[in-house]
Structure formats: structure tokens, C-alpha cells
Amino acid sequence: MAGKTGAEVEDLTRCAVLFEAADPPRTGTVVFWNAHGGPPARDEVDVVVVEDGTPVIRTVPAVRLPVADALPVLARAAGPGAGADPAAAFWGGAAAIALHLAARERLLPGVTPDGYDAWRVGPLDLDDVRRVRELVAAAPPEAYATPLAGTGGAAVRLPEPEGLVRAFLDAVADTLPRTPAAQAATGRAAFAAAEPQYVPQLRGWAEEVSAGLDSGVRVSLRIELVAAEPKTGGHRQG
């Protein structure tokens, strides 16, 4: 989050927060919004708000940050006495869970539906699942106020918060291991570079590794690329 002052970070913690999932997960974005005005906004987002007892869709100013840049803001929002917006504190709690899982090396390799390399959280034990569900049960409406595509008026619908939280946990897991040092150490971009790598040929390998780790079997994470140089790309889920 280069260039942001402490005051700017604090301003963002006063905003409501949404998460926009994407493929691959690390290209998702964290959206800070305030229907009543707030820090200078560079973007807009459609959200569902309640007016006179009726849910309506409104376009409000917003600030979008990549997951890596948003984590310090969310950590501040989750801190004691932060005075953060409830939705910011909620996503700060999700960030804390994600970081705890990463610190315990609960990461599994995978290939996304669109064919890109991705890390995800796992395997989760019963305590992990309980913490996620307890967090989801406390989700304020502003934390998942993105209207689902094709809905509006009296039929407006919102996404399930648990699905969003799971997607966010995966986004953090997919962000943290990717550094220039990681790419240099492995000698390849897949599962190390931040830029999305198109590796559909690794789907079977990733499924085998994940299945082994999910069942407690120790499996080598050595990657053998068997096709041409991966293509790059990625897109947001709509």
C-alpha cells in the first residue's frame, strides 16, 4: 500500500468494505465504500442499501485496492479500539483468519476453472471451520452488499457471505507466497509469480497433491511443467 499515510489508512477503516472475487483469486479486489461520502474516491461500485425499509441498488463512490494493499487496512480495522466500520472490522477478521492459516502453512496448489495457477487455503480442521462460520454469522449486510447480476427492484439478491469469505481466504492464500524471491528460488513463474499463469496442464498434478495433503499424506510440491511457456491473463468474476 505504497504512498498511503496513517491518516489515509484510518479514513479507509471508516468505510464499509466489500470483496470482489476474481479468477485467479489473487486478482480479486477489496472495495472500500461509503454511501454518505468519505475519503477521495477513484472509482464507483453498485451496492444494495435499505431506503424507507426497501432494498435498492445505488452507485456510490469507492476505492478499490488489490488484496496485498488492502491487508494492512483490514488489519488496522480489526484492531482493538479501531473505531472501524462494522463491515471493515468484519473483513479484518477474515484477514486475520487467512493470515493465521497461511502462518500454519495451510495452503494447497490448484488450477482455477479458467486454467490459471492458484493457491487456496486448506486443509481446514474443525476449529478453522468453526471460526469461519462464527465470523460469517456475524457478517453485517454492508459486507456483502454487492447485488447479484440480473437482480433488481423487489427481486434484488445478495451473495452468500460464506462463499465470499471463502473466496477472500483463497485470495489471501494466493497472494502471500508470490514474491520475486519465490520465483527466483523455483526458477519458474507458476505458483510463484504474481502475474496469472495459464497452466491447464497442471490441473491433474494439483488435484493429486491437494488430495494427498487433504488426507494427511506428505507429498512433494515439486512442479514439473510439461507444456509451453504459460500464458498470462486473468479476469474478474461477474
Render pLDDT for 135-163 as a digit per residue (tens, 0 to 9). 999 999 999 999 998 776 667 899 999 99
Give the cell for residue 83: 473505531
Q: Please state the length of the chain.
A: 238
Q: Give dist(CA 167, CA 172) in Å, integer.
A: 9
- % the chain with pLDDT above 70: 83
Highest mean pLDDT (candidates 33-37, 49-53, 113-117, 190-194): 113-117
Query: Which ranges of 104-220 would DSSP assign to H, the alpha helix?
Result: 126-137, 161-175, 180-186, 203-214
- Identify the pLDDT of residue 228: 38
- % the chain with pLDDT above 90: 65
Mean pLDDT of 34-41: 71
pLDDT band at 224; cut points 50, 70, 90: very low
Whole-structure pTM value: 0.85
Mean pLDDT of 126-143: 97
- Identify the pLDDT of residue 57: 92
Render pLDDT for 58-117 as a digit per residue (tens, 0 to 9). 999 999 999 999 999 999 999 888 889 999 999 999 999 999 999 999 999 999 999 999
In the predicted model, is pLDDT for residue 51 greater than 60? yes
Residues facing 121 on adjacent strands:
107
Render pLDDT for 19-33 as a digit per residue (tens, 0 to 9). 999 999 999 999 999
Residues facing 45 on adjacent strands:
60
